[in-house]
């Protein structure tokens, strides 16, 4: 697919990688709708995209809520005059060890079910709902071709303190493969990008000594940029013989 022919929805588009995807796609000529819960962030991204070649329009939506997603897909379709691409980017962290004995009391603390459910709802149920409604809209409108990209993580291999996040990101890779098989007959391709440590507000908020420790584990000895992750998303969009696979962009990091 050529980027000027793309009408794309990006979830979690008000900050970090989602913001970069939204503005980079519009810079390259695509029309982009994006969603987030941060209304001020939405307004800022819309303003940043005002003079770009592609259209940029934002919506408030929670990707973990079925009714929000159904409305979002319809609103994005109407705002762009069509919809043939999706980037499932929205995600959250609620890190913690599965169990951890208190050093003084010996009481075993447990990862709460609330932490587990919160991450699974946004990071796995969200992409499921968005992909389901996107695919249904594509089929109902006879739109061909179409493509969706899921954003996973190097943590899909299992990262200490991230039982919930690792499970969600591993699930996204598996779903990408099976959705490729289910949706190819309708002209829908799928792909997944698994970033490593990327220079976003989440990493920027870390204490320098902790960030330095993370970077030392990366063979390239640096964090990645949002633009480098966008290049992987762009490749999946533009390569019509790509589907059902994961592109790792992690500087060679092994967890």
Catalytic positions are 165
For 85-131, give the DSSP string: EEEE-------B-SEEE-TTT--EEE--HHHHHHHHIIIIIHHHHHH
Look at residues 91, 28, 15, 29 and name the one whose alpha carbon lies nearest to residue 58.
15
End-to-end CA separation in angstroms for the chain: 34
Strands 99-101 and 108-110, how do they pair? Answer: antiparallel
Does residue 145 have a cis peptide bond before it, meaning omega lies within 30 degrees of 0?
Answer: yes
CA distance 122 to 213: 28
CB environment 49-72: b (16+ within 10 A), e (fewer): beebebbbbbbebbbbbeebbbeb
CB environment 85-99: b (16+ within 10 A), e (fewer): bbbbbbbebbebeee
């Amino acid at each position: 697919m050529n980027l000027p022919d793309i009408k794309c929805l990006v979830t979690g588009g008000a900050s970090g990688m989602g913001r970069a995807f939204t503005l980079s796609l519009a810079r390259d000529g695509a029309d982009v709708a994006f969603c987030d819960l941060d209304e001020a962030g939405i307004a800022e991204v819309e303003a940043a995209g005002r003079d770009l070649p592609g259209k940029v329009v934002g919506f408030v939506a929670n990707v973990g809520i079925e009714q929000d997603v159904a409305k979002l897909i319809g609103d994005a379709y109407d705002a762009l005059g069509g919809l043939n691409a999706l980037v499932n980017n929205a995600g959250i962290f609620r890190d913690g060890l599965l169990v951890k004995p208190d050093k003084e009391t010996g009481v075993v603390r447990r990862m709460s079910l609330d932490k587990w459910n919160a991450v699974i709802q946004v990071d796995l149920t969200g992409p499921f709902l968005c992909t389901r409604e996107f695919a249904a809209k594509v089929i109902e409108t006879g739109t061909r071709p179409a493509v969706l990209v899921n954003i996973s993580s190097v943590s899909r291999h299992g990262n200490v303190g991230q039982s919930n996040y690792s499970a969600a990101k591993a699930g996204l890779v598996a779903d990408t493969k099976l959705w490729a098989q289910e949706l190819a007959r309708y002209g829908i391709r799928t792909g997944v990008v698994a970033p490593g440590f990327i220079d976003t507000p989440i990493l920027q908020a870390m204490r320098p000594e902790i960030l330095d420790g993370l970077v030392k584990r990366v063979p390239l000895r640096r964090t990645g940029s949002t633009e480098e992750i966008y290049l992987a998303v762009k490749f999946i969009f533009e390569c019509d013989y790509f589907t059902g696979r994961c592109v790792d962009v992690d500087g060679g990091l092994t967890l």
